[in-house]
Structure 1
């Protein structure tokens, strides 16, 4: 059996794809794989900031098109990039065990950052959260793969630190670059961060069965709760919504946070449910955030987001 796998072309995307292939081969070594790399709109444009592309599908639209036209059999995504609503005929077939989802500082610690330090990130959420904790720093927008981002520390760009995901560093064997793991209760990570999402066609029952064999039930419950919360808020992955999922015995605890883009306001919700009620948990967290004023913060963030997007189009 030959399976064609869609992925982005970055070193991290290829590492993640080979990881998934390895999991499947452990179950059925007879399966062969062909990797088909697909360039997304964000891969082709290496200049614009991430949020300027639009809110949905920056790294996934081309892959879904390849799936729907039968060019590939499944696609491996960083789950944080995958929209909460998939195209008709496609499904989130499997979510393997999650890597460490925390954000990290590379180059300095949070307390060790000098006054006025230049901190690099391409994420509006990370920008909002670092400004909430350290309003004195200057946030510098950066793009590119993990290696080039790390090279900006004390390079010609003169950055004091960059904020990255520990999962990506670990998958690339660059864990030693981490200076500080950020406490997710204070600096919540992106919805789905650290998890991989494998997308396939619903009609391909056999392929769906193969993929579901590598699913981690605990991770699936976590990301189902986080994604349901994001969906209920109507927020895309570009807006400043963070999450932190933990287990207390068989109960899943979801802490969710919305932060204004200037870091001046934030609201937090903490809810828990049995693991099998993950989606209800996400809905409850979203409702609490709305009641606490989170919807107003998101609307303001969205307007600012749209103004950036309109500037790009003008």
Structure 2
């Protein structure tokens, strides 16, 4: 997950107080405030109380994300169920040291050091830019940018473009990486509102914020990741697109140095009408996502797409690539 969105829940709408949990980082608060603002416009009679908390990923800053051994580093303290809504660009962005302003990765001097905490980004970019060096960098966006600007350690760092835009720092984006350059992370750019699975009142309330395209893309991406048993400790990447009722999913797995990889694209129709009547599958979750305003058949098709694409890669040797990557990462 790129930076996780806020979690909502408490005693339901009837209590007139809705507590919204969030990470303490500036970006998390900005994202939380945007969701709360939308909910307040829809429910002006409710009081939304924002509760900031520190997560496992916030507390452990001296260890690479891929080595902590916990899949829910930034969400475990907030998790119960998952809702998706509108999605910012999922692309990765390059932020350059001031001395390299105006350059691109291909124009940086040989042996330039690029900072990233993502095995996915490093694996792909090592293959495309073998002349560059990639080094781990941790901390929130403010911390990473400070390390970049005030020290000479990094020539550039790779961040999610969505986070930079939400912080109002779009002007720091020196280069956007297309999916041809770097496939992005599962769910990157999508805001998540996590809700207790049985809290129907809150589920109904946040369902109004759903974006149907984002829901289907994220279901496909998450199903792909789940079937591969992926996570922060292995390089798994995706790209999705919905066009003319067809959902396209590109998925890939990489060795740590990017020298070995598998990449395939599949598509499926998701052109199903939304049923107005509540049915027995009205509250069915697809890979942790409950989307009441998106056709159930479309969600099922998206999930099947992710599973089938992952199965195709597994049949071609993805399990071996990921197993070796996981072992090497643990040994480093």
TM-score (norm 1): 0.86
State how far apart, in whole Å, the 1-side matches of 2:85 and 2:321 are. Answer: 33
Aligned to 1:167: 162
State how far apart, in whole Å, the 2-side matches of 1:46 and 1:3 are. Answer: 31
Answer whether contact 2:55 2:76 (CA < 8 A) is retained.
Answer: yes
2:76 to 58, 61, 79: 61
Superposed CA RMSD in Å reads 1.4
Aligned to 1:236: 231
The alignment covers a number of residue pairs equal to 282
2:316 to 289, 292, 314: 292
CA offsets per residue over residues 57-89 of structure 1, 9 Å max, x none?
A: 11122223xxxxxxxxxxxxxxxxxxxxxxxxx
List aligned pairs for 1:145-184, cutoff 5 A: 145-184=140-179
Structure ID, larger Rg? 2
Runs of 4+ aligned residues of structure 1 deviating over 3 Å after TM superposition are none
Answer whether contact 1:120 1:159 (CA < 8 A) is retained.
Answer: yes
Q: Secondary structure at the match of 1:152?
A: helix
TM-score (norm 2): 0.82
Q: How far does residue 143 in structure 1 lie from its aligned partner after superposition?
A: 0.7
Structure 1: state its 5+ residue gaps. 65-89, 309-314
Aligned to 2:86: 97
State how far apart, in whole Å, the 2-side matches of 1:150 and 1:130 are. Answer: 20
CA offsets per residue over residues 76-134 of structure 1, 9 Å max, x none?
A: xxxxxxxxxxxxxx321x21110010001111412222211100011111111111111
**36-45 vs 214-223, greater mean Cα deviation:** 36-45
Answer whether contact 1:247 1:253 (CA < 8 A) is retained.
Answer: yes
Do residues 260 (structure 1) and 255 (structure 2) align? Answer: yes
State how far apart, in whole Å, the 1-side matches of 2:24 and 2:152 are. Answer: 25
List aligned pairs for 1:212-223, cutoff 5 A: 212-223=207-218
State how far apart, in whole Å, the 2-side matches of 1:237 and 1:3 are. Answer: 32
List aligned pairs for 1:1-314, cutoff 5 A: 1-64=16-79, 90-92=80-82, 94-107=83-96, 108-275=103-270, 276=298, 277-308=301-332
Distance 1:12 1:154, change over 3 A: closer
Answer whether contact 2:78 2:194 (CA < 8 A) is retained.
Answer: no
Answer whether contact 1:254 1:271 (CA < 8 A) is retained.
Answer: yes
Aligned to 1:71: none
